[in-house]
Every structure is written in C-alpha cells, then in structure tokens.
C-alpha cells in the first residue's frame, strides 16, 4: 500500500508526474472543468493541530474530484478510546485514505503501520510534504523549469524547510538555509537526503544577505512553530536578523519570488511590504495546495489515471 509520510516515499519521476497532473487539473478548473477522477472515494481528515489551508484544500479538492471528505474531531478518540491498531483498521473499513496532521511524526507512522488505508502526512513535527509539493509547483509556474534554480529558505530548520530541502534535491534545485546558529537542518535528515540524492546541492549559512544574492526564490516560515510556544521569546531573539524585509529583498535579484507556507506572523519573519509586494506569490502558493493535493490523491488512489493521461 502506498503512503505519503515523507517525500522519500516518492521518486523524482513520481513527483514530476504529480506536478504535471496538478498543472493539468489547475488549468482544467480555470476552464470550469472538474473531472470526477475520484468519484465516490472518501478521504478522512484526522487533525491534532489547527489548520486552514491543509484542511480546506483537501476537502475542496476531494469534492472537485467527485469524492467526499469527513473531518474527524476529538470525539473519535484517536489514541484514547481504543488501540491504534483497532482504530486504524476500523477506519480502513470505511474510507479510502486518511490525511493526518499529528503532534509527532511517530503518530502518523503508527497509522501507516497497519496498512489499512493510504496515509497522507498533512504536517508533523518532522516534515510537511504536501506543502513542499505546492511550493515547487509554484516555482515551476514561475520559471517553466526548476532545474538549477536556487531556493533560499530564511528561517528555521523546521518541518517546512526539511520537506522543501528534500523536494529541491529531488528536482535538482539548489537549496540554501539561512538560519542562526542552533537552528540548522538536522544531520540525520541531511544524511538521508545525501544518501538518496548524492548530487543534491544543500548549503547552510548564517548570512541571509549573502545567501539571497543568487536566489530565484526566497522562502520563510514562522520562527515559532505550533507546539514550540514556550520557546517563542528565545526564538524571537535568535531570528531577529533573519526577517524577510525590503532590505533583504534589495540584496536579491529583482526576479526573485517570495514564498511563505502561511500562516505568517507579519512583522516577525516577514514584513507587510514584502508579503503584499510585487515579488510575493504567497496567496497563489496557498491556492496551489489544492491543485497539488488533488494530484497527490490521484497518484495514491488511481495511479493508472496519471499513467494514461499525463506525460512528463
């Protein structure tokens, strides 16, 4: 059974097929077409953390494809009312896939362990693969081809930057993380990327101004992620020179695009002027979550549709 726990679960070719499918579905939607590729399929959403983009994009995306979704709240008692094995295997009797947002990555791995139904990681402390697919889709739309482009992430070595670094490695995009000391991408994750993609161009620096000089895209995320609230004062101090603001943008090529996974803390990691400025793609990027996840769900549930209809 296919799961999407991290982007290591996809090959670069599959990622390219998902991106091409997303572009096709997006242009069809603009023409008013909503092909019912997942007619009568059901997606369950099991979320332990808040969400706007991920929840709504999965629910509307599934609806466009002719399927339905149901959001499972606290009352289903995941991890509380019955064993994880019973919970997951029973869920597998009813639904075709589960999109899961969990406090720890192990919780999502545990759901996948019983192979009852495909599990889609919709954000954990480790990574956010669905976000990264939409991010590289946004880059692809801007540049036509993404190979050898330079993605500069200014911020934390967190769940979002881990997945983005891996997506970049898969598509031959150079990736730089500009971060303060102590907030690097962790070595086990970098080692996994290096083992699978030995030619990946991954850099880390404490100098954001130098990093963005050759940037095609400048990406940022909150300094304090969900669950890290107790560290927010220390993080605000550590990241104060890592704000994506007009001064930083001055150091980058005028063609550089600005990305943010959202939600943003305006005035912390990004200023209003940059977020709402002409180089910003953040709203389109959020919209791309839906197109990317529609394609991902087809890849997991009806890969033959992609094989028959999409050429990369």
Strand order in the sheet with 150-154: 202-205, 174-178, 150-154, 217-220, 257-260
Among 261, 282, 297, 306, binds ligand CP (CB under 6 A): 261
Q: Is 34 a catalytic residue?
A: no
- Look up 221 and say whether it is catalytic: yes
What strands, in cross-sheet order, belong to the sheet with 97-101? 68-72, 42-47, 97-101, 119-121
Q: Token pair for residue 196?
A: 């699978």
Report 93-132 residues binding ligand CP (CB under 6 A): 123, 131
The entry of ligand CP, ligand NVA, none near residue 221 (CB within 5 to 8 angstroms by kind) is: ligand NVA
Ligand-binding site membership of 122 (annotated): no
Given 17, 23, 51, 224, the residue binding ligand CP (CB under 6 A): 51
Catalytic residue at 64?
no
Q: How far apart are CA 260 and CA 285, in angstroms?
A: 8
- What stretches of the chain adopt beta strand conformation (E)? 42-47, 68-72, 97-101, 119-121, 150-154, 174-178, 202-205, 217-220, 257-260
d(CA 262, CA 219): 11
Among 96, 216, 221, 268, binds ligand NVA (CB under 6 A): 221
Q: What are phi and psi of 310, to 5 degrees?
A: -120, 130
- Residue 168 annotated in active site: no
**Any catalytic annotation for residue 101?**
yes
Q: Name the DSSP class of 179.
A: -
Is 261 annotated in the active site? yes
Query: Which residue number has the CB closest to ligand NVA?
Result: 225
The catalytically annotated residue of 3, 53, 64, 128 is: 128
For position 226 contacting ligand NVA by CB under 6 A, the verdict is yes
Quote the tokens at residue 297. 């769900």
Stretch of 1-9, 48-56, 71-79, 199-207 lying at the interface with ligand CP (CB under 6 A):
48-56
260 marked among binding-site residues? no
Residue 225 known to bind ligand: yes
Q: Is 52 an interacting residue with respect to ligand CP (CB under 6 A)?
A: yes
3-state secondary structure of 203: strand
Phi, psi dihedrals of residue 86, rounded to the nearest 5°: -65, -45
Residue 225 binds which entry of ligand CP, ligand NVA, none, with Cβ cut-offs from 5 to 8 Å by kind?
ligand NVA
- Nearest to ligand CP of 25, 160 (CB atom): 160
C-alpha torsion angle, residues 103, 105, 107, 109 (rounded to 10): 160
Annotated catalytic residue, options 17, 96, 261, 285 = 261
Q: Of the listed pieces 7-15, 107-115, 212-220, 261-269, which binds ligand CP according to CB under 6 A?
A: 261-269
> Rule CB under 6 A: is residue 262 a binding residue for ligand CP?
yes
Among residues 17, 221, 235, 285, the one annotated as catalytic is: 221
Phi, psi (deg, nearest 5) at residue 255: -85, -5
Is-contact 106 114, C-beta < 8 A?
A: no
- The crossing angle, in degrees rounded to 10, of helices 159-170 and 129-143 is 50
In the region spanning residues 156 to 175, those forming contacts with ligand NVA, defined by CB under 6 A, are 158-160
Binding-site members for carbamoyl phosphate are: 101, 128-131, 261-262, 289
Q: Can you give the binding site for ligand CP, defined by CB under 6 A?
A: 51-54, 123, 131, 261-263
Q: Can you give the binding site for ligand NVA, defined by CB under 6 A?
A: 123, 158-160, 221-222, 225-226, 261
Active site residues: 101, 128, 131, 221, 261, 289
């Amino acid at each position: 059974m296919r799961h999407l726990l991290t982007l290591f679960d996809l090959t670069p070719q599959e990622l390219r097929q998902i991106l091409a499918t997303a572009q096709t579905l997006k242009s069809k939607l603009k023409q008013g077409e909503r092909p019912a590729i997942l007619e009568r399929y059901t997606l369950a959403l099991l979320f332990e953390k808040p969400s706007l983009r991920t929840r709504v994009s999965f629910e509307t995306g599934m609806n466009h494809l002719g399927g339905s979704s149901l959001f499972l709240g606290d009352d289903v008692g995941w991890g509380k009312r019955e064993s994880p094995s019973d919970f997951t295997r029973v869920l597998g009797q009813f639904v075709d896939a589960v999109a899961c947002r969990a406090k720890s990555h192990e919780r999502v791995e545990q759901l996948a362990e019983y192979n009852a139904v495909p599990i889609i990681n919709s954000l954990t402390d480790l990574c956010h693969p669905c976000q990264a697919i939409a991010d590289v889709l946004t880059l692809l739309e801007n540049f036509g081809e993404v190979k050898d482009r330079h993605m500069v992430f200014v911020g934390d070595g967190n769940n979002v930057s881990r997945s983005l670094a891996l997506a970049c490695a898969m598509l031959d995009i150079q990736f730089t993380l500009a971060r303060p000391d102590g907030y690097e991408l962790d070595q086990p994750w970098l080692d996994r990327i290096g083992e699978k993609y030995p030619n990946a161009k991954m850099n880390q620096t404490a100098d954001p101004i130098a990093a963005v000089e050759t940037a095609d895209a400048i990406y940022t995320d909150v300094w304090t992620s969900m669950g890290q609230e107790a560290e927010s004062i220390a993080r605000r101090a550590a990241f104060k020179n890592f704000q994506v603001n007009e001064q930083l943008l001055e150091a980058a090529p005028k063609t550089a695009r600005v990305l943010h996974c959202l939600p943003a803390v305006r005035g912390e990691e990004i200023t209003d002027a940059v977020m709402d400025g002409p180089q910003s793609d953040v709203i389109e990027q959020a919209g791309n979550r839906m197109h990317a996840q529609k394609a991902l769900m087809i890849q997991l549930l009806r890969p033959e549709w992609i094989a028959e209809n999409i050429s990369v």
